[in-house]
Chains A and B, each alone.
Chain A
């Protein structure tokens, strides 16, 4: 018989592990993945594959040679970063730009801070912003869905709903005229409109989000706070001036909001720890997103909103602590 073990209590462990959580998230992203391949064809698949492969390789090499730690990538977090990064770029992005974005996301946003669990900003979003600023043309060229699905290079491109909206309003077009040109709600719900790989299909993302809620991987606090804030803020604006502000349903379905609310803002490492803090985080993201969409330079505000709120997370954690048992009331 081997030596008996001595350790501190507890002597039991639940069956939760980082691996299980990460692979659960990957599974939740599959609907959006499949929809994107359906609408954008092979280039969607290749973009995702390149992003994932680069992220995994980058993490492995950087962990081994830069951090000098055990270069295990089996926890799945690099795969998630790769998938989320590819979901945030158009399927027509040149492969070498995807590679650069992945290396930047893993290297600067994750490894430079110390590896898993130590980063302040969401790595996929940091990668996306890097690409947006470095290659603005490629990053704002959106392939039209269901066209050129079997070829790697897309010829037909068009604007995203939000892009068209901003452009139209700036040109002085009226909202009612614009609305006729923008995709119908069903199309936006299903995904048949221009946009990044993963953000187009609201239904696929919601399915994934519900799966994660069911498995207990995420809680309802951040998505609910984020989406409700966007709906409320845009709703108020719409009621004040329906000729300049489009209705809340459009805002909820357009752009990367669904993807952001369910997959990006809920990233555990970069979001608050207490439920109260999560609600504050969601509200902040919502307010910033709507502000950037309506009054900012960019048509889409989700990435920036989430990154800005990421910076506030340590402060939120400090300010919104959970209610203690037997807390003695002051004063």
Chain B
């Protein structure tokens, strides 16, 4: 079975919501839509207090080379454009809308039948993807059109589709493949057209055998798409590891996947591309897995962007009494919230509620130099050394030891027998080194 060679761990999968079909969340009374739900420059609001908006209407325009448009997920009146507390407790500029009904923009095709043919050419496809605010739905939220603009001198050979979902607990991609498999396939053909490639490979981890079977059957109806099963190992869903496993090429340090001739997109992104090109629908809703050992009804919910997380948790039976941590995303790379009223964004793939007894960190001891962190690092780095250098504030040395190659997957900290907060220190180091690199460029 295909896999990546270097490092990796196997945490408990806990895919307890895998059998739950997608349910639609009722539209909330108020939505809080942040203007920055993507990597890059935040979008600029083009509405103000009192404006009436429709579902799917453009409310903030992307600025700069790497940015994305933001569309309203509901119809109603803009209450205010103000700084609202987000998951980190900090305030970020958001557009707050009071909902009235659910009136969609009449440019959007609301029919549910599959539309296979795409009449647009590559340039038009990329333009539409940009217009519709499509970003990477795996959680990284990188504006998708940027990846599709292949730079001069480089050529794309493969389109790789990430159906791995290696994080424990998360099942939104799994359910999407089971219930919207055909739409995803059409989305993939559209992306292939945009990139001028005729080979697409979908990677699915071996714990989603039903999705693998379904996608393999569907792929027969489409030209050039093959489906591959991958060994269950974290972080198989990371871009570089996926490329290594599927086509056995290593993206060089500091470079992008296009360097080895491929572009990677998540299945959720492929689905969003289908809706954007074939139904003229911008990105304003997504599937969010709400899960956790104490959650009464773990579910996969189709949610409008801007819905507050507490509304979603209420739909699954309410916040359990023994809750210790609320995480946006998966348990390995997700972010712990300090505020459960924070809104769902384009990149929120799941909400995980951890019981209190699992929420506390293990006690920290001296590094016993066992070397296990080195063994599990999927990027071949030395986490104990990077953490020590960052703690001692030796930024130049940390840069020389390739701290910027770290993708913050957390395998090192998961494994460390001494319970050392390796990733915490590496993050501080990366931040400082990034600052140094920026000042050096200027």
Contact = CB atoms under 8 A, between A and B. Distances in A.
Interface of A: 1-2, 4-14, 16-18, 20-21, 75, 114-118, 268-275, 321-328
Instruction: Determine the interface band of chain B, counting residues with CB < 8 A from chain A.
Output: 35 or more
B327 interface: yes
B326 A326 contact: no
Contact of B367 (A6, A117, A323): A117
Contacts of A272: 371
Interface stretch (B55-63, B183-191, B332-340): B332-340
Contacts of A118: 366
B98 interface: no
Given A1-B323, A10-B423, A11-B352, 9 more contacts: A2-B356, A8-B336, A8-B423, A11-B359, A13-B414, A14-B414, A16-B416, A18-B365, A325-B405
B362 interface: yes
Given A13-B361, A269-B368, A273-B371, A6 B253 contact: no
Contacts of B374: 273-274, 322
Contacts of B372: 16
B336 A7 contact: yes
Contacts of B332: 9-12
Interface of B: 6, 9, 11, 168, 240, 244, 250-255, 321-327, 329, 331-338, 340, 352, 354, 356, 359-362, 365-372, 374-375, 377-382, 384, 402, 405, 408, 410-411, 413-419, 421, 423-424, 427
A322 B405 CA distance: 14
B169 to A, nearest CB: 10
B405 A4 contact: no
B371 A274 contact: yes
A321 B381 CA distance: 9
Contact of A18 (B334, B338, B379, B417): B417
Contacts of A274: 371, 374, 382
**Top 7 A-B pairs ranked by shortest CB distance?**
A10-B410, A117-B366, A324-B380, A273-B371, A268-B370, A16-B417, A326-B253
B366 A4 contact: no
B368 A268 contact: yes
Contacts, number: 156
Contact of B336 (A5, A20, A271, A321): A5
B384 A273 contact: yes
Contacts of B321: 1
**For B168, B327, B377, B413, which residue has the most chain A Cβ atoms within 10 angstroms?**
B413
A124 to B, nearest CB: 16
A324 B384 CA distance: 15
A325 B424 contact: no
28 contacts: A4-B325, A4-B326, A4-B340, A5-B324, A7-B325, A8-B423, A9-B329, A9-B336, A9-B423, A11-B325, A11-B332, A12-B11, A13-B413, A14-B11, A16-B372, A17-B419, A18-B368, A20-B417, A21-B370, A117-B418, A272-B371, A273-B369, A273-B371, A274-B371, A323-B6, A324-B381, A326-B251, A327-B253
Contacts of B323: 1, 4
A128 to B, nearest CB: 21
A12 B331 contact: yes
Contacts of A4: 323-326, 336-338, 340, 359
B334 A11 contact: yes
B365 A75 contact: yes
Which secondary structure dominates chain B's binding surface? loop
Contacts of A328: 252-254
B208 to A, nearest CB: 20
Nearest to A277: B371
Contacts of B327: 11
A277 to B, nearest CB: 9
B366 to A, nearest CB: 4
Contacts of B413: 10, 13
Contacts of A325: 6, 240, 244, 250, 253, 378-380, 405
A233 B74 CA distance: 78
B9 A14 contact: yes
Contacts of A321: 382
Contact of B414 (A2, A6, A10): A10
Given A5-B324, A273-B369, A325-B240, A13 B419 contact: yes
A57 B382 CA distance: 35
A159 to B, nearest CB: 37
B392 to A, nearest CB: 15
B331 A8 contact: no
A6 B336 contact: yes
Nearest to A321: B382
Given A9-B410, A268-B369, A324-B402, A14 B325 contact: no
Given A1-B323, A17-B417, A9 B365 contact: no
A324 B402 CA distance: 9
A10 B333 CA distance: 6
Nearest to A20: B417
Contacts of A9: 329, 331-336, 408, 410, 423
A21 B370 CA distance: 10
Contacts of B417: 16-18, 20-21
B382 A322 contact: yes
B423 A5 contact: no
A268 B325 contact: no
A24 B441 CA distance: 51
Nearest to A10: B410
A270 B367 CA distance: 12
Contacts of B418: 18, 117
A118 B416 CA distance: 16
A154 B168 CA distance: 61
B379 A324 contact: yes
A12 B352 CA distance: 12
A121 B312 CA distance: 56
Contacts of B427: 8
